[in-house]
Structure 1
Amino acid sequence: MSVQFNHTIVHAKDNRESARFLAHILGLEVGPEWGPFVPVATANGVTLDFATAPAESIVLQHYAFLVSEEEFDAAYDRIRAAGIDHYADPHLKQPGEINHNHGGRGVYFMDPAGHGMEIITRAYGSHERPEAGS
């Protein structure tokens, strides 16, 4: 078997709130709670297990999700409908915009715990680079 990423634990101020938030934006389901975890599974089988942690112990992380053009449209509509601050860049300098990096579209936003979330339609490095001198 080749190495595969299976799951990660995402610390949150409220595990249910953060799991519901991400699942809603991405059009995913919140899985059944088990122990201290509230899981959200992606299509490729990777699970984000949200766990409540004291606010002062949460280390902010970045999570990027590769989506189809249609999924991007739906997620972006939900972001705007909910009035969620969003940005074209990870430094949060281009509010209310999306980017067109790597020949696709992308947007950054924060989850309720302050983690940086990103949705993209093209994987980084997947676009064709122009020939030198073109």
Structure 2
Amino acid sequence: MSVELNHTIVRAHDKKASAEFLAGILGLPVGPPTGPFVPVELGNGVTLDYAESDEIVPQHYAFLVGEEEFDAAFTRIRDAGIEYYADPGHHERGEINHRWGGRGVYFDDVNGHNMELLTRTAQ
């Protein structure tokens, strides 16, 4: 068997609201609670397991999406009035990037995690 990422825990002040925020942007369902977690399963089978925590250390999560998924998610970001950036340091406000011939955008989730959507990766 090859090595694959199965799941990761995303710390959140409100696990349900946080899972619903990201799932809403990505157009994915929120799974039923499993133990202390609220999961959001991605298309490649990796699950983001949201867990409640008083202490949040912002992390970076990047999601490779298709062109249509990017368009839909980016529309949801703009419609919700979420600030977005072309860069991970959040200096290029209100812009997207075109790295590697694709498109990318960064935004913060409700806990301050730095989320990234990209349509292409460096080969």
TM-score by length of 2: 0.98
1: distance between equivalents of 2:10 and 2:116? 15
1: distance between equivalents of 2:35 and 2:92? 39
Bigger radius of gyration: 1
2: distance between equivalents of 1:37 and 1:114? 19
Map of 1:112 onto structure 2: 110
- 4+ residue stretches of structure 1 with deviation over 4 A? none
Map of 1:87 onto structure 2: 85
Per the alignment, in what secondary structure is the counterpart of residue 22 of structure 1?
helix
Structure 2 matches for 1:9-24, cutoff 5 A?
9-24=9-24
- CA shift at 1:35, angstroms? 1.6
Consecutive unaligned residues of structure 2, counting only runs of 5 or more, are none
2: distance between equivalents of 1:58 and 1:35? 20
- For 2:40, the aligned partner's letter is V
Consecutive unaligned residues of structure 1, counting only runs of 5 or more, are 127-134
Map of 1:41 onto structure 2: 41
- For 2:35, the aligned partner's letter is G
Equivalenced residues, count:
123
Taking only aligned residues, the RMSD between alpha carbons, in angstroms, comes to 0.6
Query: Is 2:41 aligned against 1:71?
Result: no
2: distance between equivalents of 1:102 and 1:12? 32
Per the alignment, in what secondary structure is the counterpart of residue 10 of structure 2?
strand
- For 1:113, the aligned partner's letter is N
Deviations 1:3-26 (A, max 9, x none): 110000000010011100000000
Q: Percent identity?
A: 65
Map of 2:31 onto structure 1: 31
TM-score by length of 1: 0.90
